[in-house]
Structure 1
Amino acid sequence: MTQTSPPGWHPDPGYTGFGPIQERWWDGTQWTDQLRVPPAALRSRRIRIGAGITAAVVVLAAIGGGVYLLSDDSGTTGNSATAPSSSPSPAPSRPGAPGGSGGDGGGETPEQQQPQTEDGYATDMASGISIPVPDGWTGESGMGAGVTTGTYACPGDSGEKCVRGGVFSVPAAALKLTTKTAKATAEKDIATNAEESYGEKIYGGITSHEQLKSEAVTVAGRQGYRVRWKVVTKNGDDGYVESLAFPSPQAADMLIVVRSGFDINPKAPGLSVLDDITKGIKAASGAGSGPGTNA
């Protein structure tokens, strides 16, 4: 195609193969600095940790001692920086704003320097945060980030792999959460988190839950909010699930959701580990920061 191709979102020509591909905005004459997570990737990528986590980007969404299933349905592209040949897509309503393309492209990153990975952390490039990886755990970085313990055969299906615990992050928009404050977002997400972690056939569903925490908390220098439940399942281990929400260090108007879940089992990590992980979450190296906080 020529340099007269119409404006639109297209696969990033600078994609290096690390993490799921992003889309970059073509303004009709050149590639801009605006990036986003493709809406299709946000909705079709499914990760299960805790009996079934529907997630959005890379290893995000919920966890718990549950199914760890990552389907690879991301697209591929070359690295040529030529003009796009596909038809144009809607322009962002505001450059770099979450949900900019008519509310359908949740997870766009601000027009800033992209976050970088670093040793000892799993970096969420969409949200601009890094999650510490405890000793013996595995961390995965990308458009969303996650840290998990080792796997084991799931109680309801030995053919599936479960994890004793894990912590995952994702932009709130990727989970279709439209609440405006950290508190409202955490309160709304916790039930979905619990259901997707322990509510499917692996655990036979949740019979009851007890709220253990509902409180403000500072994360990565931002004012956030967390809700923690203890859930009782029909089959297998019971578990702890937590939904934590706070503004991104790189964009105060972008809320991040960190879903956590731990089996209640002698082989599972204790809740003190979850607290340590939360305290260790920080702005990703190379990510910009903006003023303002949400309560």
Structure 2
Amino acid sequence: ASPAPGLPGGQGGQGGPGGGGRSQAPDQQQPQQPPSEDGYVTDVMSGVSLPVPDGWKGQSATIGASVSTGTYTCPADTSQKCERGGVFAAPAQALKITARTAEAAAKADIAVNAKESYGGKAYGAISSHQELKSEPVSVAGQKGYLVRWKVVTKKGDDGYVQSLVLPSPHSADMLVVVRSGFDISSKAPALSVMDEITKGIKAASGTGSGSGQTA
């Protein structure tokens, strides 16, 4: 998958698809990092925290948070960096999503997520996709909705992409988007890890009135 896009107000990451965190040195800590719990990264504006699986790298920011397995050279464009697995959270508004409900937003975002994760030059574009899931879910104590696709790429590994949308635990009027992209490869994390990360998302502590309990 291509790394998460950079967002205005985020720390690290260059703007545009596939730009997130590409310029950062490994394990380099940004100054004035938002508060995070051990084992989690936090998107402060969204009010959610993502679990960081063992061996993964995580990054918190005022707008946006991400976890990743690390980068490798993209199969179709060796000048770009791709990820075996990555999950990225941000407010829907920051991603220019105008849908008002979690279901509508997830259904609208999945194609954008697929294109930014596996389309374009990095994997030689997407040949086809298959919908694996489209269902309501309970995440961070909120009623959300997720859509998951399997995509076939023209070059390199195929992939799984997932768009999960839920109301912010700290602001019912705000929708939060959690995008996941996993390569389908023996070198990539298993699809079950995507489920584990989804289940482990929780309300961020210290950024509002949320209880921090998981669904």
Does residue 1:123 correspond to 2:42, yes or no? yes
Structure 2 gap segments, 5+ residues each: 24-33, 211-215
Distance 1:146 1:59 in 2: 11
For residue 152 of structure 2, the aligned residue among 209, 227, 232 is 232
Q: For 2:132 and 2:12, locate their aligned partners in 1 and report how far apart those are by CA, in whole Å.
A: 23
Q: Corresponding residue for 1:104?
A: none
Kindly tell me the number of residue pairs found equivalent between the two proteins. Answer: 195
Task: Give, in angstroms, the shift of residue 225 of structure 1.
Answer: 0.2
Larger Rg: 1
Is residue 177 from structure 1 mapped to residue 97 from structure 2 by the alignment?
Answer: yes
Runs of 4+ more than 3 Å apart = 51-55, 57-61, 66-72
Kindly report the root-mean-square deviation, in angstroms, between the aligned alpha carbons of the 2 structures. Answer: 2.2
Change (3 A) 1:255 1:60: farther
Local SS of the residue matching 1:116: coil
Equivalent residues of 1:150, 1:164 under 8 A apart? yes
Amino acid at match of 1:284: A
TM-score by length of 2: 0.84
Provide the TM-score with structure 1 as the length reference: 0.62
**Corresponding residue number in structure 1 for 2:21:** 70
**Could you tell me which amino acid in structure 2 is paired with residue 237 of structure 1?**
D
Q: Which whole-Å CA distance do the structure 1 matches of 2:147 and 2:187 have between them?
A: 24
Aligned residue runs from structure 1 range 214-253, under 5 A: 214-253=134-173
Secondary structure class of the residue paired with 2:186:
coil
Match of 2:81 in 1: 161
Report if the CA contact (8 A) 2:72-2:83 is conserved.
Answer: yes
Segments of 5+ residues of structure 1 without an aligned counterpart are 1-49, 73-114, 291-295
Once residues 204 and 115 of structure 2 are traced to their aligned partners in structure 1, the CA distance between those partners, rounded to angstroms, is 30
Which residue matches 1:27? none
Residue of structure 1 in register with 2:116 after alignment: 196
- Pairwise mapping of residues 34-53 of structure 1 onto structure 2 (< 5 A)? 50-51=1-2
Cα offset, 1:162, TM superposition: 1.5
**Percent identical residues:** 62
State the SS of the aligned residue for 2:192. helix
- Alpha-carbon distance, 1:51 to partner: 4.0
SS in 2 for 1:135: coil
